[in-house]
A and B are shown apart, each in its own frame.
Chain A
Amino acid sequence: MADLLQTIETSLAVGALYALIALGYTMVYGILQFINFAHSDIVVLGAWFSYRMSQQLLPRLGVDPHSPPWWAGGVVLVLAMGLCAAVGFCIERACYKPLRHSPRLNVLITAIGVSLLLQNVGQLPVVFGTQPARMPSLLPDRELFSVTFASPPAAGAEPAPAAEPRRVVIRLVDSVIFVTAGVLMVLLELLVYHTRLGTAMRAVSFRTETAALMGINVDRIISWTFLIGAALAAAAGFLFAMKYPGLNQPAHTTWVLLGLKAFVAAVIGGIGNVRGAVLGGFVIAFVEQFGAFYISSNYRDLYVFALLILMLLVRPTGLLGTNVQQKV
Chain B
Amino acid sequence: MSVRLLSVWCLLLGPLVWLGCNGSGGTSGGAPSADEIVIGHYAAMSGAQATFGQSTDNGIRLALEEINAAGGVNGKKLRLITYDDKGDTKEAGAAVTRLITRDKVVAVLGEVASSLSLAGAPVCQEHGVPMITPSSTNPQVTQVGDKIFRVCFIDPFQGYVTAKYIRELPTPVSRVAILYDQANAYSVGLAQEFEKALTRLGGTITTRQTYSEGDQDFSAQLTAIRGSNPEMVFIPGYYSDVGNIALQARKLGITVPLFGGDGWTSPRLTEIAGSALEGCFFSEHYSQEDPNPKIQNFVRKYAEKYGSKPDGLAALGYDAARLLADAMTRARSLSGDDLAAAIAATRDFDGVTGTFSIDADRNAVKPAVILKIVNGQVRYEATVTPESP
| A–B contact via C-beta, under 8 angstroms | yes
A residues bordering B, Cβ < 8 Å? 3, 6-7, 10, 14, 94, 98, 120, 123, 130-134, 160-164, 166-167, 169, 171, 240, 244-246, 248-249, 251-254, 256-258, 289, 292-293, 296-298, 300-301
Q: B229 to A245, Cβ gap below 8 A?
A: no
Query: Nearest-CB distance from B142 to chain A (Å)?
Result: 28
Q: B229 to A169, Cβ gap below 8 A?
A: no
Given the contacts A169-B251, A246-B272, A289 and B214 also touching, CB distance less than 8 Å: no
Q: B217 to A257, Cβ gap below 8 A?
A: no
Q: A258 to B216, Cβ gap below 8 A?
A: yes
Q: A130 to B51, Cβ gap below 8 A?
A: yes
| 8 smallest beta-carbon distances between A and B, as pairs | A253-B214, A292-B220, A130-B50, A246-B243, A293-B220, A246-B244, A160-B229, A257-B214
Besides A14-B217, A246-B240, A289-B217, 9 more A-B contacts (Cβ < 8 Å) are A6-B252, A161-B229, A164-B253, A244-B244, A244-B248, A246-B244, A293-B223, A297-B220, A301-B212
Q: What CA separation (Å) do A293 and B209 show in the bound complex?
A: 10
Q: B220 to A253, Cβ gap below 8 A?
A: no
Query: Nearest-CB distance from A13 to chain B (Å)?
Result: 9
Query: Does B166 touch A at the CB level, under 8 Å?
Result: no
Work out how many contacts link A and B, with CB atoms closer than 8 A: 117
Query: Does B140 touch A at the CB level, under 8 Å?
Result: no
Q: B220 to A252, Cβ gap below 8 A?
A: no
* Chain B minimum-CB-distance residue to A14: B217
Q: Return the CB mask of B205-247 against A: 1 if under 8 Å, else 0.
A: 0000111111111011101101111000000000111011001
B268 is contacted by which of A120, A132, A163, A296 (Cβ under 8 Å)? A132
Q: Chain B residues near A163 (CB, 8 Å)?
A: 229
Query: Nearest-CB distance from A113 to chain B (Å)?
Result: 11
Q: Chain A residues near B271 (CB, 8 Å)?
A: 133-134
Query: Does B1 touch A at the CB level, under 8 Å?
Result: yes
Q: What CA separation (Å) do A209 and B388 show in the bound complex?
A: 80
Q: Chain B residues near A240 (CB, 8 Å)?
A: 216
Q: A298 to B210, Cβ gap below 8 A?
A: yes
Given the contacts A3-B227, A123-B50, A245-B247, A10 and B217 also touching, CB distance less than 8 Å: yes
Query: Nearest-CB distance from B40 to chain A (Å)?
Result: 22
List 11 A–B pairs whose Cβ atoms lie within 8 Å, in order of A's numbering: A10-B217, A132-B243, A161-B175, A169-B252, A171-B251, A245-B272, A246-B272, A252-B48, A289-B217, A297-B209, A300-B211
A300 is contacted by which of B215, B248, B273 (Cβ under 8 Å)? B215
Q: Chain A residues near B224 (CB, 8 Å)?
A: 3, 293, 297
Q: Chain A residues near B220 (CB, 8 Å)?
A: 7, 10, 289, 292-293, 297, 300
Q: A297 to B221, Cβ gap below 8 A?
A: yes
Q: B46 to A123, Cβ gap below 8 A?
A: yes
Q: B212 to A251, Cβ gap below 8 A?
A: no
Q: How many of B's residues come within 8 Å of A, CB to CB? A: 45
Q: Chain B residues near A133 (CB, 8 Å)?
A: 268, 271-272
Q: B253 to A169, Cβ gap below 8 A?
A: yes
* Chain B minimum-CB-distance residue to A255: B214
Q: What CA separation (Å) do A249 and B266 show in the bound complex?
A: 14
* Chain A minimum-CB-distance residue to B218: A297
Q: Return the CB mask of B48-79 against A: 1 if under 8 Å, else 0.
A: 10110010000000000000000000000000
Q: B210 to A297, Cβ gap below 8 A?
A: yes
Q: What CA separation (Å) do A166 and B226 show in the bound complex?
A: 9
Q: A298 to B50, Cβ gap below 8 A?
A: no
Q: A3 to B48, Cβ gap below 8 A?
A: no
Q: What CA separation (Å) do A10 and B223 show in the bound complex?
A: 11
Q: Chain A residues near B8 (CB, 8 Å)?
A: 94
Given the contacts A246-B240, A246-B273, A292-B220, A131 and B48 also touching, CB distance less than 8 Å: no
Q: What CA separation (Å) do A246 and B239 show in the bound complex?
A: 10
Q: What CA separation (Å) do A132 and B272 show in the bound complex?
A: 8
Query: Nearest-CB distance from A205 to chain B (Å)?
Result: 26
Q: Chain A residues near B243 (CB, 8 Å)?
A: 132, 134, 246
Complex interface residues of chain B between 297 and 355 (CB less than 8 A to chain A): none
Query: Does B182 touch A at the CB level, under 8 Å?
Result: yes
Given the contacts A130-B46, A160-B228, A167-B253, A252 and B240 also touching, CB distance less than 8 Å: yes
Q: What CA separation (Å) do A252 and B48 show in the bound complex?
A: 5
Given the contacts A169-B253, A171-B251, A252-B240, A292 and B214 also touching, CB distance less than 8 Å: no
Q: What CA separation (Å) do A144 and B182 show in the bound complex?
A: 34
Query: Does B274 touch A at the CB level, under 8 Å?
Result: yes
* Chain A minimum-CB-distance residue to B239: A132
Complex interface residues of chain B between 240 and 296 (CB less than 8 A to chain A): 240-241, 243-244, 247-248, 251-253, 266, 268, 271-274
Q: What CA separation (Å) do A240 and B212 show in the bound complex?
A: 18
A253 is contacted by which of B5, B175, B182, B213 (Cβ under 8 Å)? B213
Q: What CA separation (Å) do A132 and B273 show in the bound complex?
A: 11
Q: Chain A residues near B175 (CB, 8 Å)?
A: 161
Q: Chain A residues near B211 (CB, 8 Å)?
A: 297, 300
Q: A131 to B214, Cβ gap below 8 A?
A: no
Q: Chain A residues near B239 (CB, 8 Å)?
A: 132
* Chain A minimum-CB-distance residue to B53: A130
A254 is contacted by which of B215, B221, B226, B247 (Cβ under 8 Å)? B215
